[in-house]
Amino acid sequence: MLLALVVCLTSTHVLTNAASQGQQRIILCASVTTKAPDKLNLYISGVSKKLDARAIEALAKIDDTGRRLLALRGYLRSERSLASKWSWSADQIERYKQSTEYREAMAEVENVRKQFQTQNPGYTLHVNTEVRSLEKQIKSWNETKSVQVAAQDLVTAAGMEISKPVYKDQPDQPSLMRFERFLKDHVVSTPTVAVPGLSPHGQLRAFDFQIKQGDKIIAGTNTAMITDVWDGQGWTGKLQTAVKAASRKFIGPLASPREPWHYTYSP
């Protein structure tokens, strides 16, 4: 209805200057094009309807089509475990902080810090022990370059996929099921941040250890530092040695995407 109305207004609007008339039509037509839902967005919307309500709500807060599509792929691939992995609410976080498990986790982190300092005099560990909220995860997803790169590749592949004759312009159930299978099976480059809601930081099941000398962080959570600083200066191995000596409850470092500072806590 919106498209028909705008075309009618354009065709009946009279301007005295012919050049101005042409420009007016171009502007109005561009407006119609950007507001009309394209085929890929129709398929994203159709497949998303089967998701957990929390994932649907998170998708609505993701900025663009590509990042939304990439997140949808992550939710579909984690469909069976999504409920157990999903980031905690504020109430859940507060309850956890009152638990024995939380106290034990903090004690294990402190053991690692002490062990590292003993093995590396003059250096300490900085550890963020706060739960990473869903809002922070969404913000990071919307801003991280590696997400954009993977999303662009996926959009290109998805566009080619739905251009096949078997995909209806208005998605039907067979087309949606086929597109869902495509998303689950298609291989993408791994972003440096987790899909919003699925980060182990959202349940305080992961900790990022950063190396400090005095007040200065010399090896932080920056992928650009992995080769020259973490590996080149030996901090990857030194942290791993300290973690293994201090605790049996940490698994890591994270291999994909590679993060030598990231360890998963297993109660």
- At 1-19, the pLDDT tens digits run 333 333 333 333 333 343 3
Given a cut of 60, is residue 36 above it in pLDDT?
Answer: no
Kindly state the percentage of the chain with pLDDT values over 90.
Answer: 84
* C-alpha to C-alpha distance for 179 and 174, rounded to whole angstroms: 9
Given a cut of 90, is residue 253 above it in pLDDT?
Answer: yes
Are both 29 and 156 inside the same structural domain? no
The domain of 150 spans 39-88+133-199
Q: Which two tokens stand for residue 140?
A: 């990071």
pTM of the model: 0.78
Are both 83 and 141 inside the same structural domain? yes
Are both 120 and 8 inside the same structural domain? no
Q: Which of 199, 225, 257 is the last residue of a domain?
A: 199
Q: Is the preceding omega at residue 171 within 30 degrees of 0, hence cis?
A: no
Give the Å distances, CA to CA, from 101 to 14, 105, 124, 160, 248. Answer: 73, 6, 25, 48, 15
Are both 225 and 163 inside the same structural domain? no
pLDDT, residue 30, reads 33
Q: CA end-to-end span of the chain, whole Å?
A: 57
- Kindly give, in sequence order, each residue whose CB lies less than 8 Å from that of residue 114, ignoring residues fewer than 6 positions away: 246
Are both 121 and 183 inside the same structural domain? no
Are both 144 and 29 inside the same structural domain? no
pLDDT, residue 81, reads 94
Are both 47 and 148 inside the same structural domain? yes
Are both 146 and 183 inside the same structural domain? yes
48-71: average pLDDT: 96
- Kindly give, in sequence order, each residue whose CB lies less than 8 Å from that of residue 144, ignoring residues fewer than 6 positions away: 191, 192, 193
Q: Which of 199, 214, 234 is the last residue of a domain?
A: 199
The 10s digit of each residue's pLDDT in 104-118 is 999 999 999 999 999
Q: Which of 199, 225, 255 is the last residue of a domain?
A: 199
Given a cut of 90, is residue 28 above it in pLDDT?
Answer: no
pLDDT, residue 9, reads 33
pLDDT, residue 104, reads 96
Are both 45 and 138 inside the same structural domain? yes
Total of domains in the chain: 3
pLDDT, residue 86, reads 97
Are both 116 and 58 inside the same structural domain? no
The 10s digit of each residue's pLDDT in 238-247 is 999 999 999 9
Given a cut of 60, is residue 24 above it in pLDDT?
Answer: no
Q: Which of 206, 202, 211, 203 is nearest to 239 (CA)?
A: 211
Are both 138 and 69 inside the same structural domain? yes
Are both 245 and 158 inside the same structural domain? no
Q: Which of 47, 43, 73, 34 is nearest to 154 (CA)?
A: 73
Mean pLDDT of the chain: 88
Given a cut of 90, is residue 203 above it in pLDDT?
Answer: yes
pLDDT, residue 109, reads 97
> Residue 31's pLDDT band (boundaries 50, 70, 90)?
very low
